[in-house]
């Protein structure tokens, strides 16, 4: 069922209340309004020339600069959510952000070529992704964190934990095929009626997109097929870059 605006969120952003509920724009605005209400702010971090990662971070966070200013974080433990192929961090993790933001300093990055994250590097490996995220988190003042990864985000999170165990003190994986055997993969393919991981992760139809979203969102929102079709165009455009 569609995610409805809370009364508080409507007061924070009255324009959202009059926006048609079946539009992707409304859902993005809704999600961002809720993230701000729960104390998160949007920041773009330059990892190196040509590579930037967009984060939702606790407010306030001061990025370290060439003047070596120290980032200021709350004393709460840091919790990082990594999304998968099917969408941005907001789309995948909004309910969890609402649940955990009170007790944790929550960080919600967009993986490269999703949301506001991009690179001109030809490197597309999970290791490169992990290195970029680790550097971005450190620039934001994170010294140690728990990483929660869904699908491809779990693969990237595993690489982060492997390469920087001091940064990643705990790793939680959901619907991620890290270490999956051939028989386990085959069982997944039979259940969702696909023949391979590329067929599942790179859908070419609206129905295929709905199946993929079902892996990364606990309650896939209702949207008309034309809205899913538009999302699919954006999704495939991301992968042409990826």
Give pLDDT tens digits along the chain (242 positions).
333 333 333 333 333 333 333 444 555 555 667 787 878 899 999 999 999 999 999 986 555 554 454 545 557 899 999 998 767 788 788 889 889 998 999 999 999 988 889 999 999 899 999 999 999 999 999 999 999 998 889 999 999 999 999 999 999 998 787 877 778 778 878 887 888 877 877 788 888 888 877 776 667 777 788 877 877 777 666 555 55
pLDDT of 207 reads 84
Please give the radius of gyration of the chain, using alpha carbons only, rounded to the nearest integer.
18
pLDDT of 31 reads 63
Rounded Cα distance between 204 and 210, Å, is 11
pLDDT of 49 reads 94
pLDDT of 144 reads 96
Rounded Cα distance between 55 and 106, Å, is 10
Could you tell me which of 165, 43, 206, 13 has the C-alpha nearest to residue 110? 43
Rounded Cα distance between 101 and 40, Å, is 8
Structural domains of the chain ordered from first start:
38-180 (3.40.50.1820)
Q: Which DSSP string do the residues of 197-211 spell out, in sequence order? A: HHHHHS--SHHHHHH
Could you tell me which of 133, 72, 132 has the C-alpha nearest to residue 105? 72
State whether residue 57 is helix, strand or coil: strand
pLDDT of 241 reads 52
Cβ burial of 193 (10 Å; 0-12, 13-18, 19+) is: exposed
pLDDT of 165 reads 95
Q: What is the 3-state secondary structure (H, E, C) of 128-162?
A: HHHHHHHHHHHHCCCCCEEEEEECHHHHHHHHHHH
């Amino acid at each position: 069922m569609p995610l409805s605006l809370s009364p508080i969120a409507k007061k924070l952003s009255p324009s959202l209340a009059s926006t048609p509920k079946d539009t992707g724009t409304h859902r993005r605005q809704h999600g961002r309004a809720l993230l701000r209400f729960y104390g998160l702010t949007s920041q773009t971090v330059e990892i190196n020339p040509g590579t930037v990662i967009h984060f939702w971070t606790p407010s306030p966070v001061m990025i370290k600069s060439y003047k070596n200013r120290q980032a200021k974080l709350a004393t709460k433990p840091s919790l990082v959510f990594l999304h998968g192929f099917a969408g941005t961090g907001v789309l995948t993790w909004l309910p969890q952000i609402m649940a955990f933001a009170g007790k944790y300093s929550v960080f919600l990055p967009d993986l490269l070529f999703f949301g506001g994250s991009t690179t001109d590097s030809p490197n597309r490996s999970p290791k490169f992704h992990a290195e970029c995220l680790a550097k971005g988190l450190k620039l934001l003042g994170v010294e140690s964190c728990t990483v929660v990864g869904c699908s491809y985000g779990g693969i990237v999170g595993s690489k982060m934990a492997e390469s920087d165990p001091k940064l990643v003190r705990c790793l939680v994986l959901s619907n991620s095929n890290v270490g999956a055997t051939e028989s386990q993969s085959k069982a997944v393919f039979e259940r969702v009626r696909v023949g391979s991981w590329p067929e599942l992760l790179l859908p070419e139809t609206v129905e295929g997109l709905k199946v993929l979203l079902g892996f990364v969102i606990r309650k896939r929102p209702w949207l008309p097929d034309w809205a899913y079709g538009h999302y699919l165009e954006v999704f495939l455009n991301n992968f042409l870059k990826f």
